[in-house]
A and B are shown apart, each in its own frame.
Chain A
Amino acid sequence: MGEEKVYAIRLADGTELTNLRMNGNNYISSSAVTEDVFVDNCNPVVISDGENEETHDHMALIHITKYGDDYYFALRDRTKEELDQLKMKADIEYLAMMSDIEL
């Protein structure tokens, strides 16, 4: 078996989650990880495996689950359909605001 990779994730506001291991598509943290860290903070997300960095725009948190002493969490890229819907929602809210219409 090769040496296990250690991952780091940098969120949009610069928050860094470090010393992460990986199982499947779950990142494993021995420190507490909470959902509020990810709210409106996943565009972009920079993921490093110690050798390479990947930048992901518009990610979303899938889940955080505690197994034993460790916190497992997973992220995903939002789909084009989701992004289209988010844009449409934002456009509607903007038009409503400019037209002084309460939605």
Chain B
Amino acid sequence: MGRITSYPNATTFDSAADVIIKDGTNGTKKMTIDNLAIQTAEYFCRTSANRLSRRMVYRALNLGTTFTSDQNAALAGSNPTFANMYVGSYWTINGHKYVIADFDYWYGKYDKLKSAENTDTEAENVHHIVLIPSITHTNQKMNDTNTTEGAYLGSKMYTENMDEVRQIIEEDWGAHIVTHREIFSNAVTDGVPSAQIWTDSRIDLMNEPMVYGHYAFSPFPVNGYNYDHYTIDRDQLAIFKLDPGILRTFNGWLRDVTSASYFAYACPRGYAGCLGASSANGVRPAFAIKAV
């Protein structure tokens, strides 16, 4: 056999059956191009220092029907690796499919206000993965009438109508769910959120920036306020950047007040919208999981 450098040059891979040669401590072996691509991404992201590169790699990998001890270990500690997990990877737990939407989204974001409610800011310090359900489990109203009075925190969706979805997710993920602090609006004046408080959040509706990367129907702050815009959820979740097509089938309420009677809504045909609070539409919250 001649030296590898004496073989003809190739500039492309021609089929999935193509292989390259890997040489090392376990001997000389061949590797398919598919495995090469996967292993290259995993190898780059494998270190704790590079783990957040996973936010920019979409891989619809089936992670199984249980959250395994190896997966738990990959999230554990102060320097997790998130091994073999990518945006778009998913678990199907008790028949419910959950897709990885982002990594460490709430890490380092915290309730800086020194209030009595400022207690445990778990997600500030705990590495986590953000998940969203892949489908809408239920359709619900934001309120019984077309009013946004009380904003998201005062809505029937928050206080009652999300209970079914929250219960499903709590049963599927239990102690893995991260409690983090959120600042939610709790009053509306002339169609604009006018008050807000910090509160614990485990499973809640997303806002427009998390989905679109910007506000769409939520009013631009007038006279110095739209308290929906005081938020730690200011960034787009990675999955909506890497897979904008996910919105084609999204059909879900977002928590932003858009007027005295409408809340924001991500429409199933992929456009940003808003609807009267009394219409029944999809409930697709976001939540985070951690190692236990």
Classify chain B: how many residues form its interface, as a range.
20 to 34
Q: Which B residues between 184 and 203 are near A, CB-CB below 8 angstroms?
A: 186-187, 189, 194-198
B115 touches A63 (CB 8 A): no
Residue pair A1, B118 in contact (C-beta under 8 Å)? yes
Question: In the complex the two chains form, is A25's CB within 8 Å of B196's CB?
Answer: yes
Task: Closest B residue to A60 by CB, please name it.
Answer: B189
The docked-state distance in angstroms from the alpha carbon of A72 to that of B197 is: 9
> How many A-B residue pairs lie within 8 Å, measured between CB atoms?
59
Q: Which residues A40-82 have CB closer than 8 A to chain B?
A: 62-63, 65, 72, 74, 76, 79
How far is it, in angstroms, between the C-alpha of A63 and the C-alpha of B187 when the chains are bound?
Answer: 6
Q: Which of A16-24, A31-39, A87-95 contacts B (4 or more CB under 8 A)?
A: A16-24
Give the distance in Å from the alpha carbon of A74 to the alpha carbon of B116 in the complex.
17
Binary flags per residue of A1-20, CB closer than 8 Å to B gives 1, else 0:
11111000000000000000
| Minimum C-beta distance from A2 to chain B (A) | 5
| Contact status B197-A26, CB under 8 Å | yes
Contact A62 B187, beta carbon cutoff 8 Å? yes
Q: Determine the distance from Cα of A25 to Cα of B115 in the docked complex, in whole angstroms.
A: 11
The reply to whether the CB of B209 lies closer than 8 angstroms to some CB of chain A is no
Contact of B183 with A by CB under 8 A: yes
Rounded to whole Å, the gap between the CB of A6 and the closest CB of chain B is 10
B16 interface hit (Cβ, 8 Å): no
Question: Main SS of chain A's interface residues?
Answer: strand
Closest to B183 in A: A24
Chain B, 149-170, CB within 8 A of any chain A CB: 150, 154
| A65:B118 contact, CB within 8 angstroms | no
Query: Which one of A25, A28, A63, A76 contacts B116 once the chains associate, using CB atoms below 8 Å?
Result: A28
Q: Are A24 and B196 within 8 A (Cβ)?
A: yes
Chain A residues within an 8 Å CB radius of B223: 79
Residue in B115, B150, B154, B227 whose Cβ sees the most chain A Cβ within 10 Å:
B115
Docked Cα-Cα span, A2 to B225, in Å, equals 27
| Residue among A63, A76, A79 having the largest count of chain B Cβ atoms under 10 Å | A63
User: Residue B113 at the A interface, CB < 8 A?
Assistant: yes
Q: How far is the CB of A92 from chain B (nearest CB, A)?
A: 22
Could you tell me if A74 and B115 are in contact, using CB atoms closer than 8 angstroms? no
Cα A24 to Cα B189 with chains together (Å): 16
Chain B nearest CB: distance from A49 CB in Å?
A: 11
The smallest C-beta distance from B180 to any residue of chain A, in angstroms, reads 16
Residue of A nearest to B154 (CB): A65
B114 within 8 A of A: yes
The answer to whether the Cβ of B117 comes within 8 Å of any Cβ in the partner chain is: yes
B116, B118, B150, B198 pick with most chain A CB within 10 angstroms: B116
Let me know if B195 and A23 touch, CB within 8 A: no
Interchain CA distance A62-B150 in the complex, whole Å: 10
* B225: A residues at CB distance < 8 A: 76
Given that A63-B187, A79-B223 are contacting pairs, would A23 and B194 also be in contact in the complex, using a CB cutoff of 8 Å? no
> In the docked arrangement, what's the CA distance between A21 and B189, Å?
23
Interface residues of B (CB under 8 A from A): 113-118, 150, 154, 183, 186-187, 189, 194-198, 223, 225, 227, 230
**Additional pairs, 6, CB under 8 Å, beyond known A4-B116, A28-B116, A76-B189:** A23-B116, A23-B117, A24-B186, A24-B198, A24-B230, A25-B227
15 contacts between A and B (CB under 8 A): A1-B118, A21-B115, A23-B116, A24-B195, A24-B196, A24-B227, A26-B197, A62-B194, A63-B194, A63-B195, A65-B150, A65-B187, A72-B186, A76-B189, A76-B194
